[in-house]
Amino acid sequence: MSFIKDLITLEVVTVSGTIDVSVNDVENRNVDDQKPMSVIDFDELFKRIQGEVSSQSKLRIIAATQINIDKDTYNFVSSDLSEAENLLADMHFKSVDLAMKSRAEIVARLKPNFTRKENPGN
């Protein structure tokens, strides 16, 4: 489980904005390509989101949450949300729930089930 490096804090951020996402060219795909593709290039999407968030240009932060290991929680919700945008805040907190539960469940399961088996000769 050492591959999960940072379990001290949990951070969830919800952003809204306009990002041009390339659509994969399904028609002209090389026939030798093995992987079935999604039509949307997600890798590209999230690379751009991360770039845009740090430059704080085209994206607007709707909500952000930080939960520390001692369960201290900091929530930020944009003060100028319209009524429709309140839905985004709901969705944000649902993703926080899922992040917390996933982390707790996966860590609880993988740790006792899969422990490194040392070679008796070592």
Partner 1 sequence: MSDSRVSEFVGHCKAIEQAGDGGKSSFQQMDNLVEDRMTKVYQVPYQTIALMPAEPDANNEKQLRGLYHQLAQHLVDLGYLSRKAFIAYGKHHKKILEEPSLLQDVLRGVQQYLKEEEDAEIVDLLRETGREINLLWLEQYLALVVEGISKYTSFDGSLEPPANYQVGDVSCYGRSLAFRFRVLFAMDEAIEDAYVFRKDMLKYKLSMENILQHGMRDLDIAATDMDEVTTIDADFWELITDIDALMDVYFRSKPAEVQNKLYAIAYRLGANRSIKGQELIVLDKKPSRRRSGNPLQWTQNRLKRAKAITHGGYAYIGFRLMQVKLWQTSFYVGVIDGDWGWQSHEAALAAQREELRHLEKPKNERLASLKKKFVKRSLFVGKKRRERNAELPWAAINMEALHAVLKNYCKSVRSREVAAESEVSELELMARLQSEHNISDEQLDTAVLDEKGLDKVYDQVSDRTERRVAYPNQKNRSFFRGLIRGIGRIAKWIVSAVRKVLGVVFAFAKAIIDRIRKGIQLFFKGFRYFSHLILGRPIGSAEQIAPGVNKYRIYATQYKLDFDAINFVPKDFTKAGVRRHKAILIEMEKSLFFFIDVVIFVIKAIAELGKGGWVWLGLQIFKFFMAGVKDLLDKGKRIVEVA
What's the closest the beta carbon of residue 76 comes to partner 1, in angstroms?
Answer: 13
**Is residue 18 close enough to count as binding partner 1 by CB under 8 A?**
yes
Strands 73-77 and 9-17: unpaired
**Is residue 39 close enough to count as binding partner 1 by CB under 8 A?**
yes
**Is residue 112 close enough to count as binding partner 1 by CB under 8 A?**
yes
Q: Interface residues for partner 1 in 77-96 (CB under 8 A)?
A: 84, 87-88, 90-92, 94-96
> What does the block give as tokens for 99?
């992040």
* x/- map, 52-81, partner 1, by CB under 8 A: -x------x-x-------------------
**Is residue 38 close enough to count as binding partner 1 by CB under 8 A?**
yes
**How many whole angstroms separate alpha carbon 90 and alpha carbon 81?**
12
36, 54, 120, 121: residue in contact with partner 1 (rule CB under 8 A): 36
What separation in angstroms does the CA of 77 have from each of 83, 89, 94? Answer: 13, 7, 14
Are 24 and 40 contacting, i.e. CB atoms less than 8 angstroms apart? yes
Give backbone dihedrals phi and psi of 70, rounded to 5 degrees, phi first: -85, 15
